Each structure stands twice: as C-alpha cells, then as structure tokens.
Amino acid sequence: MSGSGRNFLVVALMCLGAFLLSAPARAGGSHFLVEPYSGVVFNQGLDRENALGLESGAVLAVGGKLKGFPPRFYLYFRASQTYFGKDDVRVESHETNGCVQRSYTAVLGGLRVVIPIWSDLRLNVEIGGGSFFSRNSYYETGFRRQYDEDMIVMELGAGLNWRLFSWLSLGLMYDYSFVAENEHGDMIATILGEADNGANLGWSRLVATVGFHF
C-alpha cells in the first residue's frame, strides 16, 4: 500500500468516525465495544507445515447507527497474538528432518457492520487492513535460521452475535487475511521446497467472542 493510499484511508476513517459520532448518527443504544476473543487459525499457502495455530486478542470499537436504519456501523481496532508451535517437517531436497516455529502479532483496523437478523441475533460483516509482524525459526542438524518479517494485510470477516443483555454479547467470527503487497516468497518455505516458495500466504481463523457494550 502506497503512502498516499494509507493517507487516504486514514482520512476516510476519520471522516466516517466523525459522522458516526455526530448527533444524527447517535440514535440510541451503545456506542463502544470491547470484545476479547480466542480461537483457532489455519495457515494457508504453507502446505508442508502444521496448518493449525491458536490465537487470542481483543477488538476495540466505536460506532452508531442512522435513525430509522437498522444496521449499526463500527470503526474497530484489533490486536492479536497467534502461535503455531513447533512443527517437525521432512526436507526431501536433502533427506533430513527439520523443525519450524512461527508466531504472528496482528495490528489491524477497519469497518464492522452489524445487521439485525431476528430477535437478539445479529450478523457481523467486517473489512479492514493493517500489519502482521511475524517471527520465524527453522533448524535442522548443523543449520539454524531465525528472522522477523512485517507484512501489510487485508482482512474480510463475517459472523453471528447473540446479545444476551444490553451490555453483554456472545459470538462466533470467521475471518480471512491475506498479504496485500507483492510477496517474493518465504525463506523457510523455500528451504522446504514449497511449490510457490510461500509467495501466496493467507490465514483463516474461527474465534469465539465475548462483547462488552457501553
């Protein structure tokens, strides 16, 4: 994402936030959300590695609704930590066994639309973007490599939410994140002989949420 593109996104989000917090948009109900969550993450584009990881994080959001218009709009900020643990792999190119370990820290922001479906059941739809900070390590007998990487990503998500009380909700969210910049491959994926050297990375996650509404 270019510098001008980032500046445009920041300005657009600020304008949308100002609109949502204006008097016409504040049509009753809560306007702030704190939503911790935890669940599983599936690694895409790294077929030779363990595809399952664990993630925990939290969403902070502020928003409102237009009078007479059912959906609510939230600007959200998400921070999370993902661990894939140690994964033993076979390196066929030189007939040895190796061990891979990866973890990710995500800092993302975007727009969430909350659409009433029936009674206290709601549909959440999200679109956002931000940064993934990865920590990667690989070792085999006589060789070890560790490196960090920053990636610009986009995410798309959808899920269901049940409002138990005016201040509390439970939900289930599915998101898919993908790298939004040119990727020339991943070092470990190249060592393992992945078909595209890890140039098409993505992560899908399924998490349970607990929302506190103010």
Instruction: Give pLDDT tens digits for 83-98.
Output: 988 877 877 777 788 8
The whole-number average pLDDT for the span 40-46 is 84
pLDDT at residue 25 above 80?
A: no
Of the pLDDT bands very low, low, confident and very high (cuts 50, 70, 90), residue 23 is very low
DSSP the chain: --HHHHHHHHHHHHHHHHHHTSTTTB-SS--EEEEEEEEEEEEES-TTS--EEEEEEEEEEEEEE-TT---EEEEEEEEEEEEEEEEEEEEGGGTEEEEEEEEEEEEEEEEEEEEEEETTEEEEEEEEEEEEEEEEEEEETTEEEEEEEEEEEEEEEEEEEEEEETTEEEEEEEEEEEE-S-----HHHHHHT-TTTT-S-EEEEEEEEEEEE-
Residue 46: the pLDDT is: 73
pLDDT at residue 71 above 50?
A: yes
CA distance 170 to 128: 21
pLDDT at residue 158 above 90?
A: yes
Q: In this structure, which CATH number among 3.10.20.30, 2.60.120.10, 2.40.30.10, 2.40.160.20 belongs to the domain 3-213?
A: 2.40.160.20
Q: Domain extents for the chain?
A: 3-213
Residue 35: the pLDDT is: 97
Mean pLDDT of the chain: 83
The whole-number average pLDDT for the span 37-56 is 85
Of the pLDDT bands very low, low, confident and very high (cuts 50, 70, 90), residue 201 is confident
Residue 24: the pLDDT is: 42
CA distance 113 to 65: 10
pLDDT at residue 203 above 70?
A: yes
